[in-house]
Chain A
Amino acid sequence: MELLVLKGVSKQFGGLRAVDGVSFDIKQGDIHAIIGPNGAGKTTLFNLITGVLPVSEGEITFEGKAIHHLRVHQIARLGILRTFQNLKTFNEMTVLQNVMAGRYTKTKTELGTAALGLPWGKREFAETRKKAEEVLEKVGLYHLRESLAKNLPYGRQRILEIARILMAEGKILLLDEPAAGLNHNETEELSVFLRKLIDGGLTILLVEHDMQMVMRLCDRITVINYGVKIADGTPEEVQRNKEVIEAYLGKGGTHDA
Chain B
Amino acid sequence: MLKKLSIAALVVFLAIWPIFTTNPYYVHTAVMIGIMVILAVGLNLLFGYTGQISLAHATFYAIGAYATSLLEVHAGLSFWVTTPIAIIFAVIVAIFIGIPTLKLKDHYLALATLALCLVTTLFLLNAKWLTNGAEGVMGIQAPTIFGYPLQGVALYYFVALFTLIIFIMIRNLVNSRVGIALETIRENEEAAESLGVNVLYYKVMVFAISGALAAFAGSIYAHLTLFVSPESFALPLSIEVLVIIVVGGLASMAGSVVGAVVITLLPEFLYEFEEYRLLVYGVILLLVVIFAPKGIVGLFSSFVGFIRGKLSGEKVNEPEEAAEREQV
Interface of A toward B, CB cutoff 8 Å: 50, 52, 71-73, 76-77, 81-82, 84, 88-93, 97, 100-105, 107-111, 113-117, 121-122, 124-125, 128, 143-148, 151-153, 156, 164-165, 168
**Highest count of chain A CB atoms <10 Å: which of B168, B184, B188, B196:** B196
Do A147 and B190 have beta carbons less than 8 Å apart? no
Do B191 and A117 have beta carbons less than 8 Å apart? no
Looking across the interface, which residue of chain B has its beta carbon closest to that of A50?
B194
Instruction: List, sorted by A's number, 12 A–B pairs whose CB atoms are closer than 8 Å.
Output: A72-B193, A73-B199, A90-B183, A93-B183, A93-B184, A101-B180, A104-B180, A109-B177, A111-B178, A114-B176, A152-B323, A153-B327
Do B319 and A143 have beta carbons less than 8 Å apart? yes
Minimum CB–CB distance from B33 to chain A (whole Å) comes to: 23
Do A116 and B169 have beta carbons less than 8 Å apart? yes
Kindly list chain B residues whose C-beta atoms are within 8 Å of the C-beta of A151: 320, 323-324
Minimum CB–CB distance from A130 to chain B (whole Å) comes to: 14
Task: Report whether over half of chain B's contact residues are helix, strand or loop; otherwise say mixed.
Answer: helix
Query: Hey, what's the 0/1 contact readout for B191-206 against A, CB within 8 Å counting as 1?
Result: 1111111110000010
Do A114 and B197 have beta carbons less than 8 Å apart? no
- Say which residue of B178, B179, B187, B323 sits within 8 Å of A90 (CB atoms): B187
Looking across the interface, which residue of chain A has its beta carbon closest to that of B171?
A117
Kindly list chain B residues whose C-beta atoms are within 8 Å of the C-beta of A114: 172-173, 176-179
Minimum CB–CB distance from B164 to chain A (whole Å) comes to: 13
Given contacts A73-B196, A76-B194, 18 further A-B contacts (CB under 8 A): A72-B190, A73-B193, A84-B190, A88-B188, A92-B187, A97-B180, A101-B184, A105-B195, A114-B178, A115-B172, A115-B173, A117-B168, A117-B172, A121-B176, A122-B176, A128-B177, A147-B320, A152-B323
Kindly list chain A residues whose C-beta atoms are within 8 Å of the C-beta of B176: 109, 113-114, 121-122, 125
**Given the known A-B contacts A97-B180, A104-B196, are A144 and B169 also in contact in the complex, defined by CB atoms under 8 Å?**
no
**Highest count of chain B CB atoms <10 Å: which of A50, A72, A108:** A72
Do A104 and B323 have beta carbons less than 8 Å apart? no
Do A116 and B195 have beta carbons less than 8 Å apart? no
| 7 A-B pairs with the lowest CB-CB distances in the bound complex, closest first | A114-B176, A90-B187, A76-B196, A105-B196, A117-B172, A88-B191, A72-B193
Minimum CB–CB distance from A178 to chain B (whole Å) comes to: 15
Kindly list chain A residues whose C-beta atoms are within 8 Å of the C-beta of B326: 153, 156
Kindly list chain B residues whose C-beta atoms are within 8 Å of the C-beta of A113: 176
Do B323 and A76 have beta carbons less than 8 Å apart? no
Kindly list chain B residues whose C-beta atoms are within 8 Å of the C-beta of A71: 193
**Given the known A-B contacts A117-B168, A146-B319, are A52 and B177 also in contact in the complex, defined by CB atoms under 8 Å?**
no
B322 at the interface (CB under 8 A from A): yes
Do B198 and A147 have beta carbons less than 8 Å apart? no
Minimum CB–CB distance from B25 to chain A (whole Å) comes to: 34
Do A90 and B322 have beta carbons less than 8 Å apart? no
**Given the known A-B contacts A109-B177, A143-B322, A152-B323, are A93 and B169 also in contact in the complex, defined by CB atoms under 8 Å?**
no
Kindly list chain A residues whose C-beta atoms are within 8 Å of the C-beta of B187: 90-93
- Say which residue of A84, A100, A122 sits within 8 Å of B180 (CB atoms): A100
Looking across the interface, which residue of chain A has its beta carbon closest to that of B327?
A153
**Given the known A-B contacts A91-B187, A128-B177, are A115 and B319 also in contact in the complex, defined by CB atoms under 8 Å?**
no
**Highest count of chain B CB atoms <10 Å: which of A97, A116, A147, A156:** A147
Do A145 and B172 have beta carbons less than 8 Å apart? no
Complex Cα–Cα for A125 and B186 (A): 20
Do A165 and B195 have beta carbons less than 8 Å apart? yes
Kindly list chain B residues whose C-beta atoms are within 8 Å of the C-beta of A122: 176
Kindly list chain A residues whose C-beta atoms are within 8 Å of the C-beta of B327: 153
Do A88 and B190 have beta carbons less than 8 Å apart? yes
B118 at the interface (CB under 8 A from A): no
Minimum CB–CB distance from A246 to chain B (whole Å) comes to: 35
B181 at the interface (CB under 8 A from A): yes
Query: Hey, what's the 0/1 contact readout for B89-120 against A, CB within 8 Å counting as 1?
Result: 00000000000000000000000000000000
B85 at the interface (CB under 8 A from A): no
Kindly list chain A residues whose C-beta atoms are within 8 Å of the C-beta of B194: 50, 52, 72-73, 76, 81-82, 84, 88
Minimum CB–CB distance from A164 to chain B (whole Å) comes to: 7
B138 at the interface (CB under 8 A from A): no
Complex Cα–Cα for A138 and B206 (A): 35
Kindly list chain A residues whose C-beta atoms are within 8 Å of the C-beta of B320: 147-148, 151
Do A116 and B196 have beta carbons less than 8 Å apart? no
Complex Cα–Cα for A94 and B323 (A): 12
Complex Cα–Cα for A82 and B178 (A): 21
Kindly list chain A residues whose C-beta atoms are within 8 Å of the C-beta of B191: 84, 88-90
B170 at the interface (CB under 8 A from A): yes
Looking across the interface, which residue of chain A has its beta carbon closest to that of B187?
A90
Looking across the interface, which residue of chain A has its beta carbon closest to that of B328?
A153
Kindly list chain A residues whose C-beta atoms are within 8 Å of the C-beta of B188: 88-91
Kindly list chain B residues whose C-beta atoms are within 8 Å of the C-beta of A146: 319
Complex Cα–Cα for A81 and B194 (A): 7
Query: Hey, what's the 0/1 contact readout for B240-280 against A, CB within 8 Å counting as 1?
Result: 00000000000000000000000000000000000000000
Complex Cα–Cα for A85 and B319 (A): 26
Kindly list chain B residues whose C-beta atoms are within 8 Å of the C-beta of A77: 196
